[in-house]
Structure 1
């Protein structure tokens, strides 16, 4: 679908100059842009690629001398990535899921579908499930018995929603996301090696081999409005009380949310974050890629954890942490600098030892 430069600028609240009637059908990096693309040169260092491409219009940083860059039109974006959000929303053609209910979909007669819900091939919707108006159920999606999904949801291919999960409006789940099935919750007849190690901080008495007995997950999952889950991300059902994800939270691909976890509003978790069971996370928390969070701890509001951080104890509100175990970011950086200095320090210590040894021998 084509949009004029003027239409794009108006939609994202930006300033447009030049021939704003130019028709745009796509977006591209400067060197790859064609005549119908808007080139994204949001920083001065990206502008060099414009001469290699064929863009007539570009999205530029404020104050850019657009005419000297060989352009016929420009949009000035004070906050480039925010402007990209609006632009990509306008230009996104979607995944092409058809309207209506496909003949191969299996929908229990007791399920309730709101107005204008589309259901793609081979989707399965269980007994008593409720799907809100205008939602899109992609190919091969499974929605369990009694699950509730709000309006304007998009469940991409092979998403799986467990029985009795409750999910708010405008939910988006990328392919393979799994919500509301049994968590890894097991127990042994006698205290296991794990329980002993935890209570003694390391000592384990000899014990007989034992089988693991499953604790079934009865708590389900409750997810708020405007939540997005990435591809192959899992949110386990709670054991007795529900696992919870707050409004506006965004969770990247390949993340794991354990049973009984409570996540606040508007959090952001990058790929491969793992959160162990019964942990509570506040509002507006950001966890970088591969952050691991131990079980039964709390993380306060507005915490930021750098990539690869291992959080094994409580983190107070507003703290920026990094490293394993997690410490204040400035402390981690000092530790890292000290670690890099270790080889030189060891050489100095060896030299001092040698000097002292010689001095002792000469006396």
Structure 2
């Protein structure tokens, strides 16, 4: 699939200059771009790369002298990453895994598939499941009994959607995503050492060792529109009420949401984030990679947590936090600086001790 310079500029809602009839097949790094590629040179620091490549057309920063760069045409990008989003969306061919239902797929007779739905090889669609129009279900996927997927769902290979999971429109699941697994919820017949230690913040007392008994997960999962789940991420079903993910939220790879978690709208949960059970996360929250969240707390709207933070208590709306335990980011920075000074401080104290405390004379 190719596009003219004029078509690309129109799709991005931006300006173009030069020969706008030139056709483009794919985006490319400036140094690697060929005559039929769009060189992604959206900053002056990439100008030298254009000289190394063979691009005729480039996506450039506003005001760039495209003719001096040896180009035949240019598209201008006032906001580079937004332009990157538009170009990649326009030129992404997607994957259909074939048209219609593959002969090896197993679709229960009571399942309802909308118009223009494709189902890949070895996929299983359970009884009473409903899949919306224009959806593409990849190979080796599983959609459980009475699960609901909205229009234009896109499930990559080996995705599983559990029974009674309800998902909105334009859902994307990367390979190996698991939605609707049972929650990690167990109890003992008598008060356990874990419960006592948590309550007292002390030891286990004289509690006896006991076996764990499962608490079953009946609540399912409810996911809004325009949600994306990364590869090998997992979302547990709620115990009685559903685990919830709001519209527009994106989960990176290897993210885990425990049972009864409620995540708001337009959140970003980056790689290896782990959220324990019954946490409430507000709207527009960003949790950087490897953030961990203790159970039964609330994180307010527009909170940003730095990488590897461990959130152990409620966080007010709008706060930027970092560290273990997570505190205000400016406070964490000062704490980190102080920690790095400790060896020097210990050395200075040792010198002072020698100066102040003389060796006592032998009697």
User: Is TM more than 0.5 here?
Assistant: yes
Q: Please give the alpha-carbon distance, in whole angstroms, between the structure 2 residues aligned to 1:306 and 1:170.
A: 29
- The answer to whether residue 348 in structure 2 is matched with residue 355 in structure 1 is no
- The answer to whether residue 180 in structure 2 is matched with residue 180 in structure 1 is yes
Q: Please give the alpha-carbon distance, in whole angstroms, between the structure 1 residues aligned to 2:209 and 2:64.
A: 71
Q: TM-score, normalised by structure 1?
A: 0.97
Q: Please give the alpha-carbon distance, in whole angstroms, between the structure 2 residues aligned to 1:299 and 1:272.
A: 18
Trace 1:135-174 onto structure 2 (pairs within 5 A). Answer: 135-174=135-174
Secondary structure of the corresponding residue to residue 21 of structure 1: coil
Q: Please give the alpha-carbon distance, in whole angstroms, between the structure 1 residues aligned to 2:255 and 2:106.
A: 29
Count of residue correspondences: 361
Q: Please give the alpha-carbon distance, in whole angstroms, between the structure 1 residues aligned to 2:202 and 2:219.
A: 32
Q: Please give the alpha-carbon distance, in whole angstroms, between the structure 2 residues aligned to 1:78 and 1:155.
A: 33
Greater shift after overlay, 137-146 or 44-53?
44-53
Deviation (angstroms), 1:273: 0.5
Q: Please give the alpha-carbon distance, in whole angstroms, between the structure 2 residues aligned to 1:231 and 1:183.
A: 19
Q: TM-score, normalised by structure 2?
A: 0.97
Deviation (angstroms), 1:206: 3.3
Runs of 4 or more off by more than 2 Å in structure 1? 206-209, 357-361
Q: Please give the alpha-carbon distance, in whole angstroms, between the structure 2 residues aligned to 1:39 and 1:353.
A: 64
Deviation (angstroms), 1:357: 2.3
Q: Tell me the C-alpha RMSD between the 2 structures.
A: 1.2
Deviation (angstroms), 1:360: 8.2
The match for 1:69 is 69
Deviation (angstroms), 1:320: 0.4
Trace 1:192-271 onto structure 2 (pairs within 5 A). Answer: 192-271=192-271
1:268-315 deviation digits (Å, cap 9, x = unpaired): 111110000000000110110000011000000010001111001000
Deviation (angstroms), 1:112: 0.5
Q: Please give the alpha-carbon distance, in whole angstroms, between the structure 2 residues aligned to 1:113 and 1:95.
A: 18
The match for 1:322 is 322
Deviation (angstroms), 1:189: 1.3
Deviation (angstroms), 1:97: 1.6
Q: Please give the alpha-carbon distance, in whole angstroms, between the structure 2 residues aligned to 1:292 and 1:47.
A: 41
Does the C-alpha gap of structure 1 residues 359 and 147 become closer, same or farther in structure 2, counting only changes over 3 Å? same
Q: Please give the alpha-carbon distance, in whole angstroms, between the structure 1 residues aligned to 2:360 and 2:84.
A: 71
The match for 1:112 is 112
Does the C-alpha gap of structure 1 residues 347 and 122 become closer, same or farther in structure 2, counting only changes over 3 Å? same
1:6-64 deviation digits (Å, cap 9, x = unpaired): 11011011111111111110111111111111111111112211111111111111111
Q: Please give the alpha-carbon distance, in whole angstroms, between the structure 2 residues aligned to 1:359 and 1:64.
A: 74
Trace 1:18-29 onto structure 2 (pairs within 5 A). Answer: 18-29=18-29
Deviation (angstroms), 1:208: 2.7
Structure 1 residues not aligned, in runs of 5+ = none
